[in-house]
Structure 1
Amino acid sequence: MTFAQTVPSVRVRAPGKINLFMKVGALHDDGYHDVATAYQAVSLYEEVTAYPSETFSVEFSGSIDTSALPADRTNLAIRAAKMLARKAGIPTGVRLEIQKNVPIAGGMGGGSADAAATLVACDALWGTEFAKDELLALAAKLGADVPFSLMGGTAIGTGRGDRLSPALATGDFHWVLAIAEFGMSTPLVYGELDRHRELHANELAVPTSSPSVDTAVLQALRAGDARLLADSLHNDLQAATLHLAPGLGAILELGEKHGALAGIVSGSGPTLAFLAADADAALELQVALSAARLTALRVHGPVHGARVIH
């Protein structure tokens, strides 16, 4: 592949996600779990701008505190850029500017969105012209949620969440996000789930090694019916998250008291996603949660995955 610098900079936007449904399989010997999840990309975006550079670097701005984010080679966006450069034989680096809006360690895949946007931005900046399937294969090596951030829309994820199948969703779904003032470690939440399952092994059903998404979720999405979807929302990680952060339970109750059709922990949390009947109901719920001194954002989905905007 020939290196061809084509543009002075590239800006890419990639969405955060909500897990509408999540079943977690049994713990494997390698310490991981297979999952079955229904992802929906929503209108809360990360923006990555890539500039030519001799080295690899990243800096942050945006609506959230980024002071704790690593800016060295451990950063997922830097890893994405270096991986693409190695595969394409690119002899130079890239300077990344990331405008962050998705909560950090919030269960919405913000870091994954950064990595997906970086792959698209560097592909355009360097003129490498990889096919979508090639980018998806690279994305899967970076993390379970990165391929979905690249793909967007609504999809079913199996395996580690990175084996994707598009799911038909008609119309728009309206959500209100309650953003926590703290983050949560995904491995910590999975560990809490494993401890809970072991402690209550005699009372709980044995987790399957190959979980699947309930057909009711797919039917609700296909129908574009928010009320049907509300009845189908499920997250195996929710109990573990609430045990580690019990204050979230009161916020779930508050949201449902103020008109949410249902509330759910997104991914490993602590972001809470409330499904509203329509745009007007979402606005009323946002106002109510804001009045309770919570950070509440209105979003809708599904939206496109990572794409060039400039």
Structure 2
Amino acid sequence: MTTAAAAGRRVHVRAPGKINIAFDVGDVQPDGYHDVASVYQAVSAYEDVWARVADDFTLTVTGDLDVSGVPLDESNLAVRAARRVAERLGWRGGIHLDIHKGVPVAGGMGGGSADAAAALVAVNELLGGALTTLELQELAAPLGADVPFAVLGGTAIGTGRGDELAPALARGRFDWVLVTSEDGLSTPAVYRELDRLRELPDIAPAHGVPAADPVVMQALRAGDPAALAVAVRNDLQDAALSLRPSLAETLRAGHRAGALAGLVSGSGPTVAFLAADERGASALASELAASAAPGSRVLHVHGPVPGARVITS
């Protein structure tokens, strides 16, 4: 696309946050990282990104929540994503991104990754690129394990470091109630705590090669929340609870309020509760909101939803 043609456009892309329905963590590797098997589900909490031509790579950030901790420099994943697409397409100018955040910041729901996924799709559209979804996922992979999934959306199994994706069939709709915290948890710290706990006596032995639980996959294929409720699990949950004991009370509150199941999503601190249906989730959200700790947010979301997609061009 010519500079003049691109200069007259502003592209709007929306990308979803995610939860980890099941998260299986293997042993620590010599490089300090862990292989995982994660069952991701994209949910209806969204990041909105608008892209337009500019002299340099810049961004502004607004949100329905506190965005003061979001970086506005080159360390921002969305800026890095915009640069990667521009370089692939041979664009010599800059890109300005306007981001409006609806996914909790530092909540383990992949909001920053959704920004990056939206930026990849938006810049490709803005510059008239013809990069396929697979090519965009390949550009996304070096930016973090959650970015390729935010491009793909739906439900998927992530293996390796979580970025080797295979779409998974999930029928129907699953309703979730999320309880977020204003204070994030450090993902590296949670993994370090997991390794520490696994070295203790009477803790689960070395885990070996992680794999997606076939019971989880069958429940998703059947569209059966009750069956899924007995299978959801997260190997990082004990580590997250060790670092943030208050999350245990949040889990208890959800069970008392009638959730089918509850778990820490990913490295936390977001706690996800599965409800039987939309009505049950609404009632659950109301009850949890009435007793939520200061700084917490309670969100009713559903999944699976599509990945990053163009809204207007």
Same fold per superposition (TM over 0.5): yes
What SS class does the counterpart of residue 156 from structure 2 fall into?
Answer: strand
Identity %: 56
* 1:179 corresponds to 2:219: no
C-alpha contact (below 8 Å) 1:263/1:272 kept by paired residues: yes
Give 5+ residue unaligned stretches, structure 1.
none
- Cα deviation for residue 177 of structure 1 reads 0.5
2-structure distance, mates of 1:2, 1:37: 41
Aligned to 2:310: 308
1-structure distance, mates of 2:138, 2:13: 19
- Cα deviation for residue 29 of structure 1 reads 1.1
- 1:222-301 to structure 2, matched below 5 A, reads 222-293=221-292, 294-301=296-303
User: What is the TM-score of this pair, normalised by structure 1?
Assistant: 0.97
1-structure distance, mates of 2:174, 2:81: 31
1-structure distance, mates of 2:214, 2:30: 29
- Count of residue pairs the alignment pairs up: 308
2-structure distance, mates of 1:6, 1:58: 16
What SS class does the counterpart of residue 116 from structure 2 fall into?
Answer: helix
Q: Which amino acid aligns with 1:49?
A: W
C-alpha contact (below 8 Å) 2:16/2:308 kept by paired residues: yes
Q: Structure 1 stretch 30-39 or stretch 126-135: which is displaced more?
A: 126-135
1-structure distance, mates of 2:305, 2:173: 9
Deviations 1:83-130 (A, max 9, x none): 111121110111101101111111111110000000000001111111
What SS class does the counterpart of residue 86 from structure 2 fall into?
Answer: helix
**RMSD of equivalent CA atoms:** 1.3
- 1:59-138 to structure 2, matched below 5 A, reads 59-138=60-139
C-alpha contact (below 8 Å) 1:51/1:94 kept by paired residues: yes
2-structure distance, mates of 1:80, 1:128: 14
Give 5+ residue unaligned stretches, structure 2.
none
Given the superposition, is the C-alpha separation of residues 89 and 274 from structure 1 closer, same or farther in structure 2, using an over 3 Å criterion?
Answer: same
Q: Which amino acid aligns with 1:305?
A: G
Q: Which amino acid aligns with 1:68?
A: G
* 1:206 corresponds to 2:206: yes
Deviations 1:59-78 (A, max 9, x none): 11111111121111111001
Q: Which amino acid aligns with 1:251?
A: T
C-alpha contact (below 8 Å) 1:18/1:41 kept by paired residues: yes
Given the superposition, is the C-alpha separation of residues 8 and 250 from structure 1 closer, same or farther in structure 2, using an over 3 Å criterion?
Answer: same
C-alpha contact (below 8 Å) 1:23/1:235 kept by paired residues: yes
C-alpha contact (below 8 Å) 2:198/2:205 kept by paired residues: no
C-alpha contact (below 8 Å) 1:17/1:42 kept by paired residues: yes
Aligned to 1:26: 27
